Amino acid sequence: MSNRRTFAIISHPDAGKTTLTEKLLLQGGAIHQAGQVKARGEARRARSDWMKIEQQRGISVTSSVMTFEKEFAEIGGGETITFNLLDTPGHEDFSEDTYRTLTAVDSAIMVIDAAKGIEPQTRKLFEVCRLRSVPIITFVNKVDREGRDPFETLDEVADMLALDVSPQMWPIGMGGLFEGLLDFRTGEVARPEGGSKEYLGKRDGDAEIPEDYEEEYQLAQAGYPEFNLEAYRNGDLTPVYFGSALKNFGVEELIDAIARHAPPPRPQPAGEERITPDHDEVTGFIFKVQANMDPNHRDRIAFMRQVSGTFKRGMKLTPSGLGKPIAVHSPILFFAQDREIADTAEPGDIIGIPNHGTLRVGDTLSEKDKIRFTGLPNFAPEILRRVQLKDPTKTKQLRKALDDLSEEGVIQVFYPEIGGSSIVGVVGQLQLDVLISRLSAEYKVEANLEASPFATARWLKGSDEALREFERFNQGNLAKDRDGDMVFMAKSAWDVGYQEEKNPDLKFSATKER
């Protein structure tokens, strides 16, 4: 079995994702952090404006990859597990980037604030995981503070997310009364003592568990389903851990749970086929493209999730849509300890491939150029704006910029069949700020964003005849996306429903699969 665990953390802002990430990296031997790779030499000095937005707002617009490893004496007779943690931006305004990152992981950790329970963004991200049956381990954070009754939190997860919950630990008191954690698997009680933990002993042995809590554990163990690996891997059950990222408590148990239960690299759908990690060639797909920090050089890093084979530096891979192979001479592998250039990579790993715009989000890379991965969606934008040029002579530059930026996944662009100005679509407000500042900094295009009459968009699928018929009556509501595919621009959700009913021969899709 593969020793890779590729996962992401999903949470609402402030739940403790950053703190937990740090502790995970500390506990495991952090090998490399993507952020350090990017900023080198010239690039460090010349940061483009959108990076400034990140700094000003103190948020991270871009996702990165962090790799760490840890030895587990108990697993498979002593195994070193390599963890690839894909960071998802933790801001309320999240983008397609975030969604797409979740297409590149095999599992997720859902961090919940013990006092707040399930919050809106947790829920949204959870829904994306559910779409792909991504298995989830729940971490209820901040038990060192006054929180809700753990039963309440468990029931909320079960009810709001329609998931079976299976507690694996139990907090002995919370906040000022917090005395430690009981691990259901080992039966051990541990409590924080100046950062490290001290075992108080086995629960049925000489442990000093306050009697008031005894009844609670009994209830917790009896009242919820037992952990079941298959149900977890199918995304039907979530094991729940409690802890404090800040106090580094429960984090070791969490890493242990990922190593033990989280799935190794999973097969990836390619049409009718499923490509497994032992497939006889290197394959992967691009889930993210990031422009370099240097605005004068249009270099990008494309992030490839490796699906199969053993990658070797210098290998030739053919990107779908390009038709000719490219040699990957200087891949950035986040696994690489003190080398920045990787020599080999395995399924589950992420490879950064520098390029000048040849690689696009959703592209498949392979040695034989026969496979096309499917199921990497574009999501229907929730915010649509009309782009108005301040200087009308810059139409060409604008088009180039919008095409580039949509290729990177920063925005989606729609060209209406009637009317001149382009419409951009995003799933979060922040993307619009990024758009305006990058247009100006990198393309010298000054533009305003104005209200558009449309509220959302749906990709249309159907026979040519059905599409032509629809076009005849709805030209004012039709646009082409960057690939020339037809999109219905809807004024409201009601509008979508109405047209769906009226046109049963057409499929109105909220995602576009490439």
Annotation: binding site: 11-18, 87-91, 141-144
> Nearest distance from residue 257's CB to ligand GDP, in Å?
17
Q: Which candidate, 308, 265, 263, places its Cα nearest to that of 285? A: 308
* 470 contacts: CB under 8 Å, gap ≥ 6: 460, 462, 478, 488, 503, 506
Q: What is the DSSP letter of 224?
A: S
Tokens of 203: 């629960």
Distances (CA, A) of 14 to 11, 18, 190, 241: 8, 9, 26, 18
Is 251 or 291 the residue whose CB approaches ligand GDP more closely?
Answer: 251
Q: How far is the CB of 169 from ligand GDP (least distance, A)?
A: 14
Rounded least distance, CB 370 to ligand GDP, Å: 41
Our CB check for ligand GDP shows the closer of 192 and 347 to be: 192
Of the two residues 62 and 499, which places its CB atom closer to ligand GDP in the complex? 62
Query: By C-beta, is 244 or 366 nearer to ligand GDP?
Result: 244
Nearer to ligand GDP by C-beta: 200 or 245?
245
3-class DSSP assignment, residue 179: coil
Query: Strand 350-355 relative to strand 316-319: parallel, antiparallel, unpaired?
Result: unpaired
Least spacing, CB of residue 174 vs ligand GDP, in Å: 11
DSSP state of 247: T
**Cα 385 to the chain's mean position, in Å?**
25
Alpha-carbon gap, residue 331 to 284, rounded angstroms:
13
Give 92 or 471: the residue with its C-beta nearer to ligand GDP.
92
CB nearer to ligand GDP: give 70 or 91.
91
Taking the least distance from each CB to ligand GDP, the nearer of 114 and 479 is: 114
Shortest CB 110 distance to ligand GDP, Å:
12
Torsion over CA: 31, 33, 38, 41 (sign): negative
Residues engaged in binding ligand GDP (CB under 6 A): 11, 13-19, 90, 141-142, 144-145, 244-246
Place of tokens 């003190």: 338
Distance CA 429, CA 144 (A): 34
Please, are residues 37 and 341 in contact by the beta-carbon 8 Å criterion? no
Residue type, 68: F
The vertex-457 CA angle with 454 and 459, nearest 5°, equals 150
What would you report as the CA-atom Rg of the chain, rounded to the nearest whole angstrom?
Answer: 24
Handedness of CA 290, 90, 252, 277 (dihedral sign): negative
Closest approach, Cβ 238 to ligand GDP, in A, equals 19
Smallest separation (angstroms) from ligand GDP to the CB of 252: 14
Determine the straight-line distance between the first and last CA of the chain, rounded to whole angstroms. Answer: 30
Provide, rounded to whole angstroms, the least separation between the CB of residue 271 and ligand GDP.
Answer: 38
- Angle (CA) 19-21-23 rounded to 5° is 70
Residue 376 near residue 367 (C-beta atoms within 8 A): no
Q: Which residues pair with 357 in a beta bridge?
A: none
Of 60 and 228, the one with the shorter C-beta distance to ligand GDP is: 60
Beta bridge partners of 244: 249
CA-to-CA distance for 279 and 258, rounded, in angstroms? 25
Amino acid in position 289: V
- Binding site for GTP, by residue number, is 11-18, 87-91, 141-144
Q: In terms of Cα–Cα distance, which of 179, 345, 371 is closest to 271?
A: 371
Looking at beta carbons only, is 129 or 376 nearer to ligand GDP?
129
CB 140 to ligand GDP: min, Å: 10
Instruction: Compute the residue count for the chain.
Output: 514
CA distance 301 to 288: 8
Least spacing, CB of residue 290 vs ligand GDP, in Å: 20
